[in-house]
Amino acid sequence: MKIGFIGLGNMGAPMAKNLVAAGHDVTGHDIHAPMPDGVVAAISAAGAAKDADVVITMLPNGAILRAVADELIPAMKQGAVLCDCSTVDVESARAVADQAAKAGVLAIDAPVSGGIGGAAAGTLTFMAGGSDEAFAIVKPLFDVMGQKAVHCGASGAGQAAKICNNMILGVTMIATCEAFALADKLGLDRQKMFDVVSTSSGYSWTMNAYCPAPGVGPQSPADNAYKPGFAAELMLKDLRLSQQAAEAADADTPMGHLAALLYETFVESEGGKGMDFSAMLPRFEKRHRG
Ligand code: NAD
């Protein structure tokens, strides 16, 4: 397939690489990041989109997605699919899908889970919202970049699933970090803590696959001085999206609310900006109760 790929950052670059390795013809555009090997550079988003069967976007947030979609959609072929894999608010996903439909372009929101490790290994989970027709066209690409694609419903349903998943992720990372900090104070060796929890009822993706303690568990951003990975400010973005959605839907999410407040303080005044979201562990190590 001819693919346009917009946003080749931490996630987009390895996803695009896997598409190239599977024999697809990928043209990319990013305002800062270099093109990975095998991806042809276009000087604009529209340039990457004009001949594409599918255009994939992997961008920081909904405002940027909407701005890029304004440029992309008029440049796309009729019947081509705009597949947004970024994590954005449900309203932006639906607005882009409406705009695409008016221009004769199919749209699907397909945010991902699995982090940069999953993006590199081609083992992401895609959660998709859009028509059966759009899902069927993009499914072979999901199969290259991921191990699972769930068609969650109409436009916006993928983002709804993602926001709920990441609320669990944020809460769980905080719980994992505070448990390590407590274990330290109780004199428990971190490797022993990992060996127990990773095979006990406290196990989780944040403990088993993305352990926030350096030198413990599989390789993770903690082993690379907490360089992202998944940046704390992106976690904060997702937690805010969950709280915005909870407010709009009148859902009670007290743990999600507290996680959003903790990440907000971490990013805005405790040195978390530019760090991986697992750097909550050194933050808890330093914390003194007031
Ligand atoms: P990133 O900041 O590394 O990549 C985003 C890229 O978009 C950057 O290279 C940036 O230069 C580019 N960009 C920004 N504005 C642009 C524009 N107008 N035109 C073209 N390119 C533009 O972020 P990331 O970690 O790759 O995350 C991307 C999306 O995936 C986010 O929505 C994030 O929430 C989501 N996500 C990230 C992870 C993760 O582990 N990093 C996991 C799941 C989902």
Copy the structure tokens of residue 209: 């696959």
Average pLDDT for residues 29-52, to the nearest whole number? 97
pLDDT band at 281 (very low <50, low <70, confident <90, very high): very high
> Where does residue 258 rank: exposed (0-12), middle (13-18), buried (19+ CB within 10 A)?
middle
Ligand 1 contacts CB of residue 11 (under 6 A)? yes
How far, in Å, CA of 103 to CA of 95, rounded?
13
CA dihedral 9, 14, 20, 22 (to 10 degrees): -150
Reported as a single tens digit per residue, the pLDDT across 192-216 is 999 999 999 999 999 999 999 999 9
Copy the structure tokens of residue 200: 């006990």
Copy the structure tokens of residue 28: 């990319």
Q: Is 177 helix (H, G, I), strand (E, B) or coil?
A: helix
In ligand 1, the atom with minimum distance to the C-alpha of 32 is: 11
How far, in Å, CA of 51 to CA of 70, rounded?
17
Ligand 1 contacts CB of residue 47 (under 6 A)? no
**Ligand 1 center–CA 72 separation, angstroms:** 17
Q: Which residue puts its alpha carbon closest to atom 17 of ligand 1?
A: 31
Task: Identify the DSSP state of 276.
Answer: B
**ipTM for this prediction:** 0.99
Upper half-sphere CA count for residue 93 (Cβ side, 13 Å): 29
DSSP codes joined into one string, 74-87: HHSPTT-EEEE-S-
- Residues tagged active-site: 162
pLDDT band at 1 (very low <50, low <70, confident <90, very high): very high
| pLDDT computed for residue 10 by the predictor | 93
Kindly report the average pLDDT of the chain as a whole number: 96
Q: Say yes or no to pLDDT of 290 above 50.
A: no
Is 135 within 8 Å of 158 (Cβ atoms)?
no
Reported as a single tens digit per residue, the pLDDT across 122-141 is 999 999 999 999 999 999 99
**Ligand 1 center–CA 39 separation, angstroms:** 17
**Token pair 């007031």 in the structure block, residue:** 290
Reported as a single tens digit per residue, the pLDDT across 43-68 is 999 999 999 999 999 999 999 999 99
CB atoms within 10 A of CB 48: 26
Helix ranges, the chain (H): 12-21, 45-49, 62-75, 90-102, 115-121, 132-145, 157-185, 190-197, 205-208, 232-249, 254-269, 280-286
Ligand 1 contacts CB of residue 146 (under 6 A)? no
Is 159 within 8 Å of 111 (Cβ atoms)?
yes
The torsion angles phi and psi of 180, rounded to 5 degrees, stand at -60, -45
Reported as a single tens digit per residue, the pLDDT across 74-92 is 999 999 999 999 999 999 9
The torsion angles phi and psi of 210, rounded to 5 degrees, stand at -145, 45
Q: Say yes or no to pLDDT of 121 above 70.
A: yes
Instruction: Return the best residue to mutate from 6, 11, 87 for the ligand 1 pocket (most ligand atoms within 8 A of CB).
Output: 11
In ligand 1, the atom with minimum distance to the C-alpha of 124 is: 43
How far, in Å, CA of 120 to CA of 177, rounded?
25
* Apex 61 CA angle, 60 and 64, nearest 5: 90
**Ligand 1 center–CA 8 separation, angstroms:** 7
The torsion angles phi and psi of 14, rounded to 5 degrees, stand at -65, -30
How far, in Å, CA of 129 to CA of 154, rounded?
5
| pLDDT computed for residue 288 by the predictor | 57
One-letter amino acid of 10: N
Instruction: Return the best residue to mutate from 5, 15, 30, 145 for the ligand 1 pocket (most ligand atoms within 8 A of CB).
Output: 30
Ligand 1 contacts CB of residue 29 (under 6 A)? yes
